[in-house]
Amino acid sequence: MATDRVGALPAVEVAAALGAGWRTERDDDLRSLPMSDGSGGVLAVLADASREVHLVPGPLGGTVPATIARRAGTAWIDADEVLGAHVVPGRIGEALSAGSSTGLGVLVARAVREGATRVVVGMTAAVVHDAGAGLVTALAEAAHGRGDRAPDDDPQAWPERFAAARGLLTDVDVVVARAVDDPLTGLHGAGAMLTERFGVDPADAQRHDRRAGSLAAEILGARRASDLARPAVTPLPVLGGGIGARAGGGAPSGAHSHGDEPARLDPSRTPGGGAGGGAALALAALGARLFDGADVVAAELGLDGALDVLGQDGVVVTSATEVGSDEARSSVMSGVGRRAAERALPVVAVGRTVTASRRELAPSGISASAALVPGRLPDEEPAAADPAALGRALEDRGARLARTWSRR
């Protein structure tokens, strides 16, 4: 059961519900491995991690609780806890105009100050759209041990601010596990997507896009100035296993990395740079590397090893909110499907709805699909939005899958 979240139901509960239904029909050896693509709730799949909750600045002031999870020497952070729409209910427009990613910077700085040599930041679309300016400022403040009161649009402040933030992360391997691949700006950038994701007026979306582009230019300009001023450095040593662990400075073997060397970072071209409203691009400028979040989590949780022990009678069940063409290209579902196909294991994808044909799903290794809600629109049945009804539908589907797919 290598599941992702389905609607409002977390991946852990999806796996449990499918497993409960399966066990009503067959006494098979069921193994649960809930997954994530780095979007909100990514920490929930790190079952054996220790956790510490911190109060950090919210996007619009005040404080919000956020967690640092630690597992095998790696600190994990869910950016959605400080940048997501749920943090600013009813104030999305205000957050897009004036929200800050400061809280995320404070979290990263605390993880580093407490000894983390590897930090993984799960990141998806956000209602803060400041190109990571607040994050860089917070890291600089942590490095200086004092506040930085210069405004984000002060070009004179950025070279020193960026250099301080970069210095804080010099010996730290930072990985962005991104759930979206939008660049920050441009026709297909995160700014352009604000209308679709948050219902923002197109004119306002263009305004947010221009502001983020301007801030990104300041950050990348400061990075170039920092490169000219700093001596050459040797690559970081290995600081953690799996995808996202730096070895000799190169991308890890088998990684689906969409990050570039910082010299080639571009707000309108770097895939995933728009995650976190541009916080991903800012972290990349500071030396972080961007990877598909599903691949980072799969490596961390040992998905390949789990599939290896299934044997020829194994069956893999995965899930998505919608089993569609986008998910067939890049998602937990497609990542699980590709890995299982390499081992000739059948994969069943369960979704609230199924909108992709078998032909569209086949290249991602999906053998069959099953919908929880009849039809093609997710609001056609109460089970589409009600977590309790969704859980019952998953249990029922698990039982039906057992009758069809169990090898006993």
Buried (b) or exposed (e) across 143-176, using 16+ Cβ within 10 A? Answer: beeeebeeebeeeebbbbbbbbbbbbbeebbbbb
Q: Answer yes or no: are the C-beta atoms of 338 and 364 closer than 8 Å.
A: yes
CA 236 to chain centre: 23
- Strand-pair partners of 163: none
CA separation for the pair 276, 122 (Å, rounded): 9
pLDDT value, residue 221 = 94
Q: Phi then psi for 351, rounded to 5 degrees? A: -140, 160
Residues 6+ apart with CB under 8 A from 99: 59, 60, 83, 88, 127, 128, 129, 130, 277
Quote the strand ranges of 235-326, DSSP E: 289-292, 316-323
CA separation for the pair 367, 285 (Å, rounded): 40
Domains of the chain from N-terminus onward: 11-33+304-405 (3.40.50), 42-298 (3.90.1510.10)
Residues 6+ apart with CB under 8 A from 265: 220, 223, 273, 281, 284, 285
pLDDT tens string for the chain (408 positions)?
A: 999 999 889 999 999 999 999 999 999 999 999 999 999 999 999 999 999 999 999 999 999 999 999 998 899 999 999 999 999 999 999 999 999 999 999 999 999 999 999 999 999 999 999 999 999 999 999 998 765 556 666 767 899 999 999 999 999 999 999 999 999 999 999 999 999 999 999 999 999 999 999 999 999 999 998 887 766 554 444 444 456 654 333 333 333 344 444 458 999 999 999 999 999 999 999 999 999 999 999 999 999 999 999 988 899 999 999 999 999 988 999 999 999 999 999 999 999 999 999 999 999 999 999 998 765 444 445 455 678 888 999 999 999 999 999 987
CA separation for the pair 138, 102 (Å, rounded): 6
Nearest to 281 by CA among 299, 301, 300, 266: 266
